[in-house]
Amino acid sequence: MNVKKRQIPQPVDVICQQNKDGTMLPIRVRLTDEDGATQTYTVKEYKDLSHQGTREMPDGMYVTDRTYVFECQVLAFGRYKMIRLYYEPSVMIWKMTV
C-alpha cells in the first residue's frame, strides 16, 4: 500500500511575473530557514499545474480549481531541488512544500 506523506506547507515570499492574460510565472522564492536566516532561491524551471479541478496533490495538499500550483526546480546549495508553490488568490498567501 502506497501511503502519501502529508507535508506542512511553509509560508514563503514569491516574486512572480503576471502577464496581461492573467498567467503567473514564479521567478524567485524567499523563505526563513529553521535558523532564522533568510534564503532566496531562483526558479530555474517550472511546470504550471493550476486550474485542474479540486484534488489532492502528491504532497497531501488539497487544491481547488482557483489555486495556482507550480512545480518548480530551484538551485539550493549547489543542488537542484523540486518544490511546489501554492497561491490561493482569496487569501493572497504563497505556500511551499518540498
Q: What is the pLDDT of residues 7-22, one digit of tens each?
A: 899 999 999 999 999 8
Residue showing cell 532561491: 41
Domain annotation covers residue 3: no
Q: How many domains does the chain have?
A: 1
12-53 tens-digit pLDDT: 999 999 999 988 999 999 999 889 999 999 999 999 999 999
Q: What is the DSSP letter of 57?
A: -
- Asked if the structure places residue 75 within a domain, the reply is yes
Q: Which domain holds residue 61?
A: 10-97
In a domain, 1, yes or no: no
In a domain, 66, yes or no: yes
Q: Are 85 and 26 in contact (CB under 8 A)?
A: yes
**Single pTM value for the model:** 0.89
Check residue 36 and give left, alpha or beta (phi > 0: left; psi -120 to 50: alpha): left
Nearest to 47 by CA among 38, 56, 55, 57: 57
| Residue 50 belongs to some domain of the structure | yes
